[in-house]
A and B are shown apart, each in its own frame.
Chain A
Amino acid sequence: MNEPQRTVADEPPPFLGTWKRVYTLVVLYLACVIGLFYWFTKSFAP
């Protein structure tokens, strides 16, 4: 049985230059989504 062949190079992301910036974008996106849901909940609360 062969050892798995793999590419282990850590290439940069296709946008924003660094992975740190991509991760920050995802976390900010989550914060916006939760903020929107909170507004939605409050707006239509009985």
Chain B
Amino acid sequence: MRPLDWVVMFAWLVFLVSYGLWRGRGSGSTQDFMLANKTMPWYAMGLSIIATQASAITFISTTAQAYVDGMRFVQFYFGLPIAMVILSATAVPIFHRAKVYTAYEYLEHRFDAKTRLLVTIVFLISRGLGAGLALSAPAIVLSVVLAWPFRVTILIMGGLVVLYTTLGGIKAVTWADVQQMMVIMLALVIAFGVAISMLPPDVSFLDAVKLAGAAGKLNAVTTTFDWNDRYNIWSGLIGGMFLALAYFGTDQSQVQRYLTGKSIGQSRLGLLLTAMVKVPMQFFILFIGAMVFVVFLFVRPPIVFQPVVMQQVHSSPQYAAIESRYEQAFDQRQAAARGIVSSKAGALEEFRAAQTNLDAARTDALNLNGANDTNYIFLSFVTHYLPVGVVGLLVAVIFTAAMSAISGEINSLATVTVIDIYKRHIAKNSSDKHYLGASRVATVFWGIYAMAFASTATGFGALIEAVNQVGSLFYGGMLGVFVLAFFVKRCTATGAFLGVIAGEAAIFTTARFTSAFLWYNVIGCLVVVAVGWSISLLHPRNN
């Protein structure tokens, strides 16, 4: 990073935090702090939801997924639009009419206090882990890129988030996200443009797409069903739909966003905006990763993308031999790529052989240190090849994207702590001012918790998978209880309570046998509904 990059980065950070504080000013009541006084227009809600989803992990890890594994990860999002339609028709009007601050408050109206408490605890555990991970994952990468100590990076990111979330509440979070989303789109377009401009003069855009296809990077849709294959159209449509239903229908960090809507219609439009934008946006981000792969067919990338690991590997006695193999494989691959562009016979086979040799050399280099550099691929491209100033903007966007995800999470954690625990079980009849103060204290608490957790959590592989895997351990159970609440009129409180416990047991058992985490949500939800319904039929008088 050059001086102008630092100036751009700090200017964007200062602007975003100041803007969030300005928009969040005057949050003088709990309703204002937690629900923005029900004033949010649909586009702000929609963009805020998308921005939270387009976290730092999206930039760092999704592009790398395409680089390493191709574009098949896009299928993960296929079920999301269907889930948004279902939620718009069901959860949105139900939550709005129930007059609740949190989704879990509704469970006490429908079932009883113990079911509400159980699901609240499940949420606090899962989202608490998620907030720590959302902070630690990008902090690990950014600390390397910015050459800052890891804990200092966490402290700066976490400190800024706590500042504007504590003072401005959900309004600050949402409006900061709107700005963030616009700059994210700008940054993505610039990164894409730079990648295309780096292609050699004799390689057109269509040639680049052809090369990405030849390398197997454009595998956006896989129709073959395989239980252990994480991403295919079936796991995406079914498992992805259940995950999205659970995330947007039961996770307070998302429910709270659409509870801020001016009306049911505005909340629906916010969700449907997300439904329309999300899949093409993920496709575009993955396509950037595929194009970065093509650029690196002609521009030699570092053998190891993680700069600190690269330095360590470089000093190893075996490095010279590995580097020589790597350079030879790179030259062969480049020649084969040009052969593919000119439709030379046998070029594809040569390309594959060279790619295998290149991958083997890279693996050997990484094994010298035992490191995984997947999450540094895109940032290596950004810091080495983007114009001065734009590097600062992109790093700032990644920085603030992480903050955007964390701010929403600690705001929702604070809301649930105050509404579902503190007000319900500890201080039942205090003033609004008292609860507002408690909300601010809870926000600071969860911010410090996330920073403490993040400081000790390191060593995740592909960040985006780690986040979704943790979520999938809990979401199926939470979704199941809301399905019972919304659609099974005869379900009793005991049935719902035992159903959640059975569902979570089923998920953790399944996780021992398969890592295809999208199915955890389906299995968990179905077990909760089956057990909850069965118990309700056997003991109807508990209703």
Contacts and interface: CB of A to CB of B under 8 A. Distances in A.
A4 B101 contact: yes
A46 B214 CA distance: 4
A37 B283 contact: yes
Interface string A1-16: 1111111111111100
A30 B215 CA distance: 27
Contacts of B84: 26
Interface residues of B, number: 52
A46 B97 CA distance: 53
Contacts of B82: 27, 30
A27 B219 contact: no
Interface in A1-46: 1-14, 19, 22-23, 26-27, 29-30, 33-34, 37-38, 40-41, 43-46
Contacts of B423: 1
Contacts of B215: 46
Contact of A41 (B81, B96, B101, B218): B218
A5 B96 CA distance: 10
B268 A19 contact: yes
Among B81, B214, B279, find the residue whose CB has the most chain A CB atoms closer than 10 A. B81
A26 B85 CA distance: 8
Interface string B66-81: 0000000010001001
A2 B29 contact: yes
B38 interface: yes
Nearest to A10: B264
Contacts of A6: 38, 96, 99
Given A1-B423, A1-B432, A29-B276, A13 B216 contact: no
Contacts of B222: 41
A46 B89 contact: no
Contacts of A2: 29-31, 432
Contacts of B272: 22, 26
A40 B430 contact: no
B498 interface: no
A29 B29 CA distance: 41
B265 interface: yes
B285 to A, nearest CB: 14
Interface stretch (B205-213, B299-307, B519-527): B205-213
Contact of B213 (A1, A9, A37, A44): A44
Contacts of A41: 218-222
Interface in B241-283: 259, 262-265, 268-269, 272, 275-276, 279-280, 283
Given A7-B263, A13-B265, A45 B78 contact: no
B77 to A, nearest CB: 10
A38 B221 contact: yes
Contacts of B74: 37
Contact of B264 (A8, A30, A40): A8
A12 B268 CA distance: 11
A30 B99 contact: no
B422 to A, nearest CB: 11
B213 A33 contact: no
B276 A4 contact: no
Contacts of B431: 1
A28 B268 CA distance: 17
Interface of B: 29-31, 35, 38, 74, 78, 81-82, 84-85, 88-89, 93, 96-97, 99-101, 209-210, 212-216, 218-223, 233, 259, 262-265, 268-269, 272, 275-276, 279-280, 283, 348, 423, 430-432, 435
Given A26-B81, A30-B81, A37-B74, 4 more contacts: A4-B99, A5-B31, A7-B262, A45-B213
Q: Which 5 residue pairs across A and B have the least CB separation, nearest first?
A: A44-B213, A37-B220, A38-B221, A30-B81, A11-B265
Interface of A: 1-14, 19, 22-23, 26-27, 29-30, 33-34, 37-38, 40-41, 43-46
19 contacts: A1-B423, A1-B435, A4-B35, A4-B259, A5-B38, A7-B262, A8-B93, A8-B264, A10-B93, A10-B265, A23-B85, A26-B81, A26-B276, A27-B85, A29-B81, A34-B233, A37-B220, A38-B220, A44-B213
